[in-house]
Amino acid sequence: MDIVKKIFFLGLFCISFTLYSHNPEKLVISEIERGQLNFENELIASEYGAALKRQRIRRLAAMPWVNKMYIFIKAGFEHIIPEGLDHILFVLGLFFSTLKLRSLILQVTAFTFAHSITLALASIGVFKLQLSLVEPLIFLSIIWVAVENTLFKKTTKWRPFVVFSFGLLHGLGFATLLTEYGLPKDNFISLLLAFNLGVEFGQLAVLLAAFILVRLIFIKTDYKNQLKIPASILIGLTGLYWFIESII
């Protein structure tokens, strides 16, 4: 009888030790992934997301600095290519607006500077907007650029200022992803810059690909009718479809 009691208490001790020696977050995550828990309410879903985010941040904190930089540059690039079709269309809208390199550089610079500002401010928690509010405005920016390209023969003087304001919106879109991904407190600034650098690489890749394709296929003397207007109409209609879909 004593042996049975000893075995019983030993087993109970082992079970208790196993349960309390594991990270509770890991237990919750593993149980959800095995299907033992489900998202029956928003609280469980938010706790699961928060646990995953903390786990990612801890893993990132333990990585070498070079690896962290690579991860965030890659994340920024992938947010444009292939995931950021809305941002790609906006950049293409800027590209199709003019054949003049100076005008294009001015617009892209304004856009880059603006989205860098809101990306940084949102990442440090100065303000926060829901993606459901930001997305429709981003789609409207695509429509606006496409309409301007179609109606005006040349880029207007106020175009860089309009693009700058739209860049502020796109920066909020970038920040939403970065906030969900999680930034470790250590190397916060350098990793924020790395993500932004990845975004710029993605934009440059889009512009370079567009430049090469346009040089190969279009007739320069009839650029406006052959490419600028048809491409802008297609971009605008796509933006309009996304906008309607986002508010329904």
- Same domain flag for 58 and 76: no
Domains: count for the chain: 2
- Same domain flag for 96 and 52: no
| Per-residue model confidence (pLDDT) at position 59 | 72
- Same domain flag for 13 and 130: no
- Same domain flag for 55 and 81: no
Full pLDDT tens readout for the chain, 248 residues: 555 444 444 444 444 444 444 455 455 445 445 554 455 555 566 666 666 666 666 776 667 878 888 888 988 899 899 888 999 999 999 998 887 888 888 888 899 889 888 888 887 777 777 777 888 999 999 999 999 999 887 777 888 899 999 999 888 888 877 776 667 677 778 888 888 899 889 999 999 999 888 877 766 666 666 788 899 999 999 999 999 999 88
| Per-residue model confidence (pLDDT) at position 52 | 65
- Residue 206's SS3 state is helix
- Same domain flag for 1 and 110: no
What Rg do the C-alpha atoms of the chain give, in angstroms?
Answer: 25
- Same domain flag for 111 and 234: yes
| Per-residue model confidence (pLDDT) at position 239 | 95
Cα atoms in the Cβ-side hemisphere of radius 13 Å centred on 78? 8
| Per-residue model confidence (pLDDT) at position 15 | 43
- Same domain flag for 11 and 95: no
Nearest by Cα to 201 from 115, 74, 87, 106: 74
Q: Domain end: 62, 85, 105, which one?
A: 62
- Same domain flag for 10 and 57: yes
| Per-residue model confidence (pLDDT) at position 19 | 43
Helices then strands, counting H and E runs in the chain, come out as 11, 0
Domain carrying residue 17: 1-62
Beta strand spans in the chain (E):
none
| Per-residue model confidence (pLDDT) at position 20 | 41
Q: Which residues contact 93 (CB under 8 A, 6 or more apart)?
A: 142, 145, 146, 149, 232, 235
